[in-house]
Amino acid sequence: MTTIANDTTATPAIFTGTEVFIPLNKLKKHPNNARKTPHSEASIEAKAASIHAKGILQNLVVEPELDTDGAATGFYLVSIGEGRRLAQLLRVKRKQIKKTEPIRCVIDTVNDASEISLDENVTREDLSPADQFERFRELAETRGWGAEEIAARFGVSAHVVRQRMRLGAVSPRLMQVYRDGDLTLEQLMAFAIVDDPARQEQVYENLSWNKDPSTIRRDLTRMHIAATERRAVFVGAEVYIEAGGVILRDLFTEDRGGFYEDAGLLDRLVIEKLDGIADTIKAGEGWKWASVHIDYPHGNGLRRTYPHLMALSEEDEAAYAAAQGEYDALSEQYDSAEELPDDVDRRFGELEAEIERIDALRHAYDADDIARGGVFVILSHDGEARIERGFIRAEDEFPETEEGQDGEGGSVIDSVRVNGDGEIIEDGDRDEDGNAVSAIETEEDTGDAGKPLSDLLIRDLTSHRTLGLRLALGEQPDMALIAVTHALAAQTFYRGVDAACLEIRPTSSYLASHADGIEDTAAGKALADRHAGWAADMPRDVADLWGFIAGLDHASIMALFAHCASLTVNAVKQPWERKPHAHATADKLATAVALDMTAHWTPTVRAYLGRVTKAHILAVVREAVSDEAAERIAGLKKTDMADAAEQFLAGTGWLPAALRTARLAWLDEPQQDGDAFQIAAE
């Protein structure tokens, strides 16, 4: 029997099991309800959404409220269904129903309220998560509902619905493994990153003991490109998708953009975008050619030129001074301001752009170098276009001129001499006494009657001069530093010239021939940028190099000297070489400069773990992590062992012995001026 209770009728006859419609505002929480922990907001939200879409599917169980005299108050206490009562109150707040909405309830005055409320929550068995996932997927497939509509009907977010639908699409075989308890929810989530059940099962079959979710995700996406990889960053998701590419997204972790399925398509889009940039640079700057590459073409064999210092025009100098002056004035005016006005902030940006534009004019390539040179347009490690200018192909090199020009700006100009008869004396000629005559002798070498001094005498005189220079230079360390720096810089930045009188010959081993890809590392790029910065400051003509170096402040001379010296370092160990003292010195140098190779190298599969034996891998893991970690991977195949070891070693800072730097304990103490020499001595 169903009875309706409301404010205008007397309390109906009460019988246990009677179904009654009671106004919502006449229902109260039973003080003996077993649940003392409040319902969560999410739970109430979900119940409200479900009731709004489908109505109340389960009756509330109530008993009349009695006053102290045992008389009915007209209110009812909810023993079972307090969450549904709160959900309806939420719907009242949202004006979906009135506060007098009739609620279907069942009267129970026989059972203890505390016991039956406990019974409802204890004896109930929740739906298996696997069943839940599959039912959500079926709702989408059979009803045609999208994630938003399903979410609205169950009071969860659309993202949660998408997650459950994705899990419901996992291979039925793996879902059964999950039901049986042989897969965790985290592992099932990892398999859901791809929609291919066959691929999921294949990866599951090939899993070793290591069923870590990260390993599963890595194996499933091994042939895909992470959105954080440089090619994906350069092209962008929108362009890739418009070209027909598909991106896999992990709904359960922060995938930072997903995984690109089609590597071939991505490479094509990278080349097309680089081609566009190359065409723009070639047309805008006038280079003879522009070549596009995803990776830097090391070992190209091309000579490289660099921009030179250029004098600004009077107009540019005036514009620079005006922009810098206004910038400084604004900086001083708003120095203490916490926030700049929009117009002032905009003006700062305009001035900075103008200053940068004029600064760029201070360095420029020779027009001849541009006309015969080219540009490499490459994809850098951070997903940006990398422009490398100034390369000269062999067929575009200027031939050496009759005057001895080497085409490098470091010109060697041969002097000519005329004899008493007005004839040009060439190298190989001899004078009246049979002495050899050099065409590069200057006018000062001739006697009063125009007769040249003999070769033997010139050699004798210049030997004495050399001795004097050696003695004097050894007494002037500052000048010696300039002379050595000049000798190094002349041979480092100029090609085919012999401009230094110091017989110092720097050599630089080509490291890319020993370690593939080393020049693409962050350290390789930093060294290349430092070299390019100095090259841009060098004068065009090597004849002006001495004056340039002599005009530098002491710190700049030391920096240039250090750079040139650094290029000659060779600590490479060759199997056929026997240089124990040189390698020992390299170790001392590493200690002196406090070299920390953890900043430049990590033990990855490619760099180390895939190139050593299993015994080496296990020894590394024992040393860097623990014996337990080594035992966990001891039974794996070499490839799987290397992959697992790479994960274990991440962030440990482990280095092989060949890369370790011995540190002296007192090096960590505060140093005083001059201590660098003490460090080097150690």
Q: Could you tell me if 6 and 101 lie in one domain?
A: yes
Provide the whole-model pTM. Answer: 0.53
Mean pLDDT of 114-129: 77
The percentage of residues in the chain with a pLDDT greater than 70, rounded to a whole number, is 85
pLDDT at 364: 85
Domain assignment of residue 680, yes or no: no
Q: Which of 96, 122, 148 is the last residue of a domain?
A: 122
Across the chain, mean pLDDT equals 81
Residues 449 and 499 reside in one and the same domain: no
* Dist. CA 206–CA 202, nearest whole Å: 6
Q: Using the 3D structure, point to which of 570, 588, 611 is the last residue of a domain.
A: 570
More confident residue, 106 or 165: 106
Identify whether residues 551 and 653 lie together within a single domain.
no
Q: Residue 386's beta-bridge partner residues?
A: 378
Specify the DSSP class assigned to residue 495. S
pLDDT bucket at 673, cuts 50 / 70 / 90: low
**Domain ranges, residue 90:** 2-122
Stretch 427-444: mean pLDDT: 46
Q: How many helical (H) and strand (E) elements, i.e. helices and strands, does the chain have? A: 26, 17
Q: Given this model, what pLDDT does residue 427 score?
A: 41
- Please report whether residue 523 resides in a domain: yes
Q: Are residues 644 and 544 in the same domain?
A: no
Report d(CA 238, CA 354) in Å as an integer. Answer: 33
- The answer to the question of residue 262 being in a domain is no
- 457 within 8 A of 532, measured Cβ to Cβ: no
Does residue 563 belong to any structural domain of this protein?
Answer: yes
* Whether residue 449 is found in the same domain as residue 484: no
Are 561 and 625 contained in the same domain? no
> Distance between CA atoms of 333 and 335, rounded to whole angstroms?
6
Residues 117 and 11 in one domain: yes
As a whole number, mean pLDDT of residues 31-60 equals 87
Verify that 441 and 551 share a domain, yes or no: no
The Cβ of residue 156 has, within 10 Å, a number of other Cβ atoms equal to: 19
Would you state the pLDDT for residue 5? 61
pLDDT interval class at 421 (50, 70, 90): very low
Is 598 strand, coil or helix? helix
Q: In whole angstroms, give the CA distance from residue 540 to residue 283.
A: 25
> What are the angstrom distances between the C-alpha of 119 and each of 50, 79, 122, 124, 655?
23, 11, 5, 8, 61
In-domain check, residue 554:
yes
Structure confidence at residue 440 as a pLDDT band (50, 70, 90): very low
- Mean pLDDT in residue range 22-43: 88
Binned at pLDDT 50, 70 and 90, residue 254 comes out as low
Q: What is the reported pLDDT for 243?
A: 92
Q: Per-residue confidence at 311, pLDDT binned at 50, 70, 90?
A: confident
Q: Is 542 exposed, middle or buried (0-12, 13-18, 19+ CB in 10 A)?
A: buried
Q: For residue 113, what pLDDT band results from cuts at 50, 70 and 90?
A: confident
User: 36 or 411: which carries more pLDDT confidence?
Assistant: 36
Same domain, 113 and 10: yes
Query: Of the ranges 137-141, 375-379, 425-429, 463-467, which one carries the lowest mean pLDDT score?
Result: 425-429
Note the pLDDT tens digit of each residue in 193-238: 887 888 888 888 887 777 788 788 888 877 788 888 899 999 999 9
Tell me if 162 sits within 8 A of 218, measured CB to CB.
Answer: no
Which of 39-43, 371-375, 498-502 is least confident?
Answer: 498-502
Residues 316-335 as b or e (16 or more Cβ within 10 Å = b): beebbeebeebbeeeeeeee
What average pLDDT does range 11-27 have in this prediction? Answer: 80
pLDDT band for position 668 (cuts 50, 70, 90): low
pLDDT of residue 399: 55
Most confident of 288-302, 580-594, 664-678: 288-302
Residue 414 above 50 pLDDT?
Answer: no
Q: What is the mean pLDDT of residues 550-570?
A: 90
Residue 151, pLDDT score: 76
Tell me, what's the pLDDT at 423? 39
Q: What is the pLDDT of residue 443?
A: 46
Q: Does 563 lie in the same domain as 463?
A: no
Q: Which two tokens stand for residue 63?
A: 């008993």
Same domain, yes or no, for 501 and 543? yes
Residue 643 forms part of a structural domain = yes
> Final residue of a domain: which of 105, 122, 139?
122
- The model's confidence at residue 2, banded by pLDDT at 50, 70 and 90, is low
Residues of the chain with pLDDT > 90, as a percent, come to 24
Q: What is the CA radius of gyration of the chain?
A: 41
Q: Would you place residue 491 in the very low, low, confident or very high pLDDT band (cuts 50, 70, 90)?
A: confident
Residues 545, 601, single domain; the answer is no
Give me the number of domains the chain comprises. Answer: 4
**Nearest CA to 552 among 475, 481, 490?**
481
